[in-house]
Amino acid sequence: MRALYKSEAAPGLQLVDVPEPEMGPADVRIRVLRTGICGTDLHIQRWDDWAASAVKAPLIPGHEFFGEVVEVGPLVHDVEVGDLVSGEGHIVCGTCRNCRAGRRQMCIRTQGVGVQRDGAFAEQLVLPATNVWVHHSAIEPEVGALFDPLGNAVHTALAFPVVGEDVLVTGCGPIGLMAIAVARHVGARFIVGTDVSAQRLELARGMGADFTVDVSKHDIREAQKALGMREGFDVGFEMSGAPTALPSMIGNMNHGGRIAMLGLPSEKIAVDWGIVVTHMLTLKGIYGREMFETWNAMGAMLQTSAELHDAIASIVSDRFPARDWEKGFAAAAAAGGGKVILDWTEV
């Protein structure tokens, strides 16, 4: 089969022929139709310090995908040949304390698809059946390929109740944009998005943000004033990892405010912990998706809301045949627009 392959611990990828992946009795073989390009994939392509510390080459990267089941192992049930599927990219051990307690997203031995084991940038992918999500209702292939990052957005957006609340979203990349759409769908009152990209701020308004702030030019408090807010934001989604984002968010929260943090900081962040204590703020780290409550929630929301489905679909800004993967990676690295999709029916 054809696959994007990192043959050695060095920058770059190659589209080459590799052996088809082997299956176990509890595994599912999937013909990959679409994949999304994630920031993780860019790190692996560049082979930066993070990639060198987390990834062992050779490897097929990629973890955001949509495909069709072509084979199931003899121990598999509830997944059938012909099913259209996405997949949970965290393979868990099943025996640590958290796994046994049903908190699989907190497994201490998690292996990442496309990071610690071969992933989805290929014509075929093999996954444990327990990681396969079957789409039982119609869905666009591009949206199916976004279920992994959409799950991050839903996990973040539903970390705290947002009905009738004022929500601040720092970082309007694809996941931040999806979180805005989810918060709007669920019933937030005012939603404010911040970024330094005019294009992404425009996309945020299209997702349902009531006000946007270019934080390179303006202060978030201007949004509060423009919207007639009197007491600060109730809920925050920190999606950027930028060193100034969390302190700025903390300074704009109402007393008792709750912050869900998905963005991974690239450097140490100076936090005024005095404000956190005296304003009784709650900070919660978000990683991946809850298995599988998040998947149930996003599947149900998309199934029952054509408006939300269309909003998520609009996140896709570029589509390339898999054979043109270099153009796709370049578009994703530009980081000014939405999500980039590779079509694996055109290799």
Find, among 107, 18, 108, 96, the residue nearest to 62 by Cα: 18
Query: Catalytic annotation on 255?
Result: no
Report pLDDT for 325.
98
Report pLDDT for 11.
96
Prediction pTM value: 0.94
Report pLDDT for 267.
86
In the set 35, 40, 212, 294, the catalytic residue is: 40
Ranges of the chain whose pLDDT falls below 70: none
Report pLDDT for 335.
74
Q: What is the Cα–Cα distance from 329 to 175, expressed in whole angstroms?
A: 18
Report pLDDT for 175.
96
Report pLDDT for 140.
94
Q: What is the Cα–Cα distance from 70 to 320, expressed in whole angstroms?
A: 24
In the set 43, 63, 90, 155, the catalytic residue is: 43
Amino acid letter at 342?
A: L
- Give the count of alpha carbons within 13 A of 341, CB side only: 25
Report pLDDT for 248.
97
Report pLDDT for 127.
98
- Give the count of alpha carbons within 13 A of 136, CB side only: 8
Query: Catalytic annotation on 40?
Result: yes
Q: What is the Cα–Cα distance from 43 to 94, expressed in whole angstroms?
A: 29
Report pLDDT for 338.
87
Domains defined for the chain, CATH in brackets: 2-146+315-343 (3.90.180.10), 153-285 (3.40.50.720)
Q: What is the Cα–Cα distance from 250 to 170, expressed in whole angstroms?
A: 11
Longest dimension (CA), the chain: 61
Place of tokens 């704009």: 252
